[in-house]
Structure formats: C-alpha cells, structure tokens
Structure 1
Amino acid sequence: MKKIYLSHLLEDKDMEKVLKNYPIGIEIIEFGIGQSLDCKEESLKNYKERLNKIIEKPSLSVHGPFLDLCPASFDSLIKDATMKRFESSYWMAKEIGAERIIFHTCFNKMVYFKSSWEYNSKIFWKEFLSNKDDSIKIHIENEYDSDYEHIVNLIDGVNHPAFSVCLDIGHANYCSKIPLEDWIKGLGKRIGHVHLHNNYGIKDNHNGILNGDISILDVLNQINETSKDATWTLEVGKYDEIISSLEWLKENKFL
C-alpha cells in the first residue's frame, strides 16, 4: 500500500466525508495562495480551527505557491519575492507538521533557454536549502515542461537530501510529447512524489484517474518499480471522480 494524499480541492465538509472512509492524508493548497501568505499566522490558525477534527490523524503535505513567481528569474526583485513566498509556505508546512512541500519548476520555454533556467534555478535552490534539513521533503513539480532533462540536471546539481521531483503525470500528458514511460525512466529514483490525475492531452482537466488517455495501471506500476518509496497525491477536483479514483486504487491494492 502507498502513502496517498488528497489535494484539498473540495469543500471542507466533503473532505471530511472522504477522509472518514479512506486511509489517506491531505495536501493543503491554501498555504500556496498569496492572500494566505500575507497573514500566515492567522491563516494557519484558521485552517487548524476549521479542520481540527480531521487533521489530527492524516499525514499532511503542502502545495507551495507558484502563481506570478519564478525561482529562475533574472530580476532580483522577482527572485526576492519568490524566496519570501517560498520561505513563508515552508514555515507554515513546518508549523502544521507537514511531511513534504511541493513547488513548481516555473519553467517557461518562451522566456528561458534551458541553460539559463538551470543556472539561475541552481543558485536559487542552493540558497533556499542552505539552512534546511531533510525533516520536510521538498519536491519540484513539472507543469508546462515539455521534457525532463533540465529537471534532472537541477536535482543532481543541487544535490540535497530533501530535494527531489514531484512527477505530475497529468501535466506531462498534456504538455509533453514524450511518453510518460520515458519521463518515469528518465527521472528514475529522483521521483519522490507523484500527482495523480488524468486528461486527454488537450487540456489540464485534473480528471479522475480513469477519465483520460493515460494508461493508469501501467504508469503506476512503472512508478512503483522505479521509485517504490514515492508518495502520491490524488489531485482531482470533483467529488464523484475522487471516490471512483480511490475505489480503483483500493481495488488495485495501491490503497
């Protein structure tokens, strides 16, 4: 059985219903929102009060901020803003006892050559991780990335025990022409976490895992073989598709 989280994309009452029936954790998304980070102590207190009954038992993960941010920026003010936001969300993850936090690569091929993105990103992440231990795992997630080589070079270049990849299979299916099997093989043991959702390669729908053209059983079996200790988050926004996905994971002995 895998350690699996559910992204908090549902209303609190629906999250509570799901968590009562399945042995899964929560991936908190609101600690990645600028308004929450502007008043992080209050946001943390509010989240604990709202979900105090259901966050006592589950494992917790945090999705960090990414909108309007870029660790690879050439602009010092953008880089400083990104560092401030990332530090704030890391602090919130630490305070709530989360086991991991996910940040996006923020790579845009229309803006960066891969060489400059890699160079700037390595500087940023070495600075960010300079005072971090491995008590919280830090995963870098592909979003609009059309391939994985620059992510491999970043992880290997930074070389920190807490630093690994979050492979988002839905993003890879939508944004890349490279088969998912090659993504998994290429990233290998660098995969520390996985985001699970499906689509038809046309739009980033975040469908249930059976609603798309990803061969989900083959992909998950390959991930298990390649990086057996990786944790997973079901990143689906509709209640009925969450339930059907969890039932499928249960039937196939992943849950």
Structure 2
Amino acid sequence: MNPSIGITSQIIHQAKWYKHIGKLGFDTIEINRQNSKLHFNLFFLEKVKRYMEGVDLSIHSGTKGIFQPNESFTKANLAILTAELDICRYLGAGQFVFHLNDGFCSAYNKKRLKEVITYSLDSGVQMLFESNSVLVAEHAYDILDSFPELGYVLDLGHLNNGHGQGKLGCSMESFISRIRDRVVYVHASNNCGKRDEHNGLEEGTLDWRHILDLLDLERVLKIIIEVRHAPMVTRTTMDLMHYLEGDLSRQRRRALG
C-alpha cells in the first residue's frame, strides 16, 4: 500500500487557515503550529475540528529547542508538548511531529522526554521525531536508539542540507540504510543543499527519487508536501503520484516473481 500524499497547513497564510486549506483538495493534512494558529482553547479547537472532519490529520509541534538554559523555559516547552498531544487526541490526529535541540541530548533530558513519550502512548498518539534543518546523522541515531517507541520523519530538504553542508557525517545511502526501518513519514521538498528553501521536488539538487527508492514505502504512512506556494504544490503532487504509481507497479512485478 502506498503512503498518503498530504499538505502542510503552513502553505496557507491567512489567520483562519482552517477555512482555506480544504480548497487545496487534500484529505491528508499536517497542521504546523509554528505557522498556523492552533490555540489551547476548546472553543477555538471545536471550530477547527468541524473543518477537519473526514481528514487524516497530524500535528507538527510549535516548540523549537525544547531544552533551554533557563529551566522555566524548558518546563514550559515540555508542558506545551503535553498540551499539543491533548490537542491531537481532541482533534483525532494520529501522529505528532516534534524537533529537538541541535546536538546530543543529555541523559537527564532524555529522561524528561521519555515522560512525554509515555504520555503520547497512553493518549494513543504516535510521536514522530524530525531532525533539524541541517541533518546530522549521529544526532538522529542517538535519539532513535534511545527511544525505540519513536517513528522518524525523513525531511528530504533537511537531508540534502546535511549532505550539502558536509555535516551529515556519512553518505545519504548509509544514513537511509541505518534508519530505514524507522521512517514512517516523509516531508517532501527540495533545495540547493545549503538552506531550507522548501522548493518543489524538481527544483533542487537532491535526487529525491533515489532517496525514496531506498526507503521501505510500505512502512511510510504519509508524504507531506512542504513547499512555499500553491503552484509548487500542484507540480510536486503530480511528481509524487507518478513516482508512487511506478513504485506500485514495481511491487506487483516483484510479487509475481
């Protein structure tokens, strides 16, 4: 079975984004709280919920750099993660995407993160870790090895930035082979390998088809298009549909021997 192709709410720039995103024609939507208003308010969430009826929904955390030198900031970020999981449960979102700080996570901070992950399991929400905009392989390995409960979000643009800036630490193929069994979600965009441009898949230096070829797409639930504007959405959607149709044909040929 192929992944669902979806869209992020960050493509909509109006304050009442939830009234407009349905016009893009997708049944799979990721609400990005860094860009789209999603208040901790039940009256507001009820309005959003009505517009999201029938949608396969996921939520991207609004936190950035959870663990801070100021302890009160860290506690606030951890509380936000927990509240965002409550929003997931209220809206019926099956997946929750989050980032961590750059670098390695300390044992103490891993213990605190574990409490949030346990809460997500109790809530029936799948928590998914996404590396930051310049992907460093060892940092991703460390989190995934420490938390076998987590799925991984492979952001194609972040992967290309890590490779292009020489910070990935290995070949892209080696990285994929190491994390392949954990990838359940993909963010689709392209760039020049230097910064997170959020271009369409054909507008960058990453051979995205080669990367998708390396994945086990039967494990991948969703491919979320993360581009800057609507024309890029149309072209990238067509590119992904054509690719996935070809992949399904390859699967059938393998099954027939």
Q: Is 1:129 paired with 2:112?
A: no
1:174 to 158, 161, 164: 161
Q: Give the gaps of 5 or more residues in structure 1.
A: none
Aligned partner letter, 1:60: L
- Tell me the secondary structure at the aligned position of residue 240 of structure 2: helix
Matched-pair contact (CA < 8 Å) for 2:5–2:237: no
Q: Output aligned runs, 1:201-220, within 5 Å.
A: 201-220=193-212
Pair 127,242 (structure 1): closer, same or farther in 2 beyond 3 Å:
same
Q: Name the structure 1 match of 2:77.
A: 82
Q: How many pairs were matched up? A: 234
Deviation at residue 87 of structure 1 after TM alignment: 1.1
Q: Distance in 2 between matches of 1:60 and 1:212?
A: 28
2:60 to 60, 63, 72: 63
CA RMSD of aligned residues (A): 2.5
What does residue 140 of structure 2 align with? 151
Whole-angstrom distance in 2 between the partners of 1:236 and 1:93: 23
Cα drift, residue 96 of structure 1: 0.5
Alpha-carbon distance in structure 1 between the residues aligned to 2:233 and 2:37: 27
Shift of 1:169: 1.4
Q: In the alignment, which of 239, 246, 250 is matched to residue 241 of structure 2? A: 250
Where 2:10 maps in the other structure, the secondary structure is coil
Letter in 1 for 2:21: M
Q: CA deviation at 1:166?
A: 1.1
SS in structure 2 of the partner of residue 143 of structure 1: coil
SS state at 2:179 partner: helix
Task: Go from structure 1 to structure 2 and tell me whether the alpha carbon gap of 1:182 and 1:230 turns closer, same or farther (over 3 Å shift).
Answer: farther
Pair 175,42 (structure 1): closer, same or farther in 2 beyond 3 Å: farther
Counting aligned pairs with the same residue, the percent is 21
Matched, 1:240 2:243: no
- The 5 A counterparts of 1:107-126 are 107=102, 109=103, 114=104, 117-126=105-114
Equivalent in 3, 22, 28 of residue 25 of structure 1: 28
Amino acid at match of 1:137: Q
Which deviates further from its counterpart, 84-93 or 181-190? 181-190
Shift, 1:172, TM fit: 2.0
Q: Indicate if the aligned counterparts of 1:40 and 1:92 stay in contact, CA closer than 8 A.
A: no
Letter in 2 for 1:16: G
Output the TM-score relative to the length of structure 2: 0.80
Give the structure-1-normalised TM-score.
0.81
Deviation, structure 1 residue 230 = 4.4
The code of the aligned residue for 2:208 comes to I
Question: SS of 1:209's equivalent?
Answer: coil
| Structure 2: stretches of 5+ with no match in the other structure | 249-257
Change in 2 beyond 3 A, CA 1:180/1:121: farther
| Alignment match, 2:254 | none
Shift of 1:47: 2.0
Task: Give the CA deviation at 1:99.
Answer: 1.0
In the TM superposition, residue 183 of structure 1 has moved relative to its aligned partner by 2.5
